[in-house]
Amino acid sequence: MENPEIRLTADGSKTLYLQSLDETYHSSHGAIQEALHVFIEQGLSYVAAKTTSIAIFEMGFGTGLNALLTAQWAEKHQRKISYVGIELHPISEDIWRQMDYAQGKSESESYSEIMSAEWGKFQEISPFFQLKKIEQTIYELDIEEKVDLIFFDAFGPRVQADIWNLPVLKKMHGMLNPGGVFVTYCAQGQMKRNLKSLGFTLEVLPGPPGKREMTRATKS
């Protein structure tokens, strides 16, 4: 796997760019803004208001930004969260140390713990946040654990069409508890038709700055 290039996005936060795919890990309009809007506000806050347990699965752990923001949210709201993230190509320490997502000493320690956590087993990052990172392709993932919320943060359908097709989305549907929620920054028509055909109830919500729409899908 090539080394990604670090790029600045419009809100001042960094992202990674892969030349081979001509794709960034986040919106160029703002990496942190996008993550906060799509995954934390429209995903986590929404689910937390209607369930007591919060188990999250993330497709595409990448820079660990969503995990860090979730750990911060858990601390702030004093809610226990269990988080499983899958990643096929973990980024190197040299890269993640340059992302500067954490503000201040305690967040920096938390981000380091998240990024250095051993793969394949749950680790307690804080009393409110436990994390398991899985180094594997989503296509081969076979886990029994059920979750309440899925952060679907794959590369876009333009570069990774397969991941947005029925087999992977069906796997996501199977991992969700009844009433569970799937959120993504994507609002592509084919993906929405795929989600509908699996029985999800869809909401097309305003996207983060610079993006018109995003999708939230609830399992009945």
Ligand X SMILES: C[S@@+](CC[C@H](N)C(=O)[O-])C[C@H]1O[C@@H](n2cnc3c(N)ncnc32)[C@H](O)[C@@H]1O
Q: 53 Cβ partners below 8 Å, 6+ apart?
A: 80, 148
181 binds ligand X (CB under 6 A): no
Q: 56 Cβ partners below 8 Å, 6+ apart?
A: 44, 70, 81, 82, 83, 84, 147, 148, 149, 150, 151
Q: Point out the residue whose Cβ comes nearest to ligand X.
A: 62
* Contacts with ligand X, 52-81, as mask; x by CB under 6 A: --------x-xx-xx---------------
Six token digits for residue 201: 């109830």
Nearer to ligand X, 116 or 139 (CB): 139
- Enclosing H/E stretch for 81: strand 81-86
The one among 48, 114, 138, 217 contacting ligand X by CB under 6 A = 138
153 binds ligand X (CB under 6 A): yes
CB of 31 to ligand X, least distance (A): 7
CA angle (113, 155, 190) in 5-degree steps: 135
CB of 52 to ligand X, least distance (A): 26
Residue 48: how many other CB atoms lie within 10 Å: 18
The one among 13, 25, 74, 219 contacting ligand X by CB under 6 A = 25
CA-wise closest residue to 141 among 174, 190, 100, 96: 174
154 binds ligand X (CB under 6 A): yes
CB of 178 to ligand X, least distance (A): 26
The one among 137, 165, 197, 201 contacting ligand X by CB under 6 A = 137
Give the Cα separation of 48 and 147 in Å (integer): 13
The residue ranges that bind ligand X (CB under 6 A) are: 25, 60, 62-63, 65-66, 86-89, 137-139, 153-155
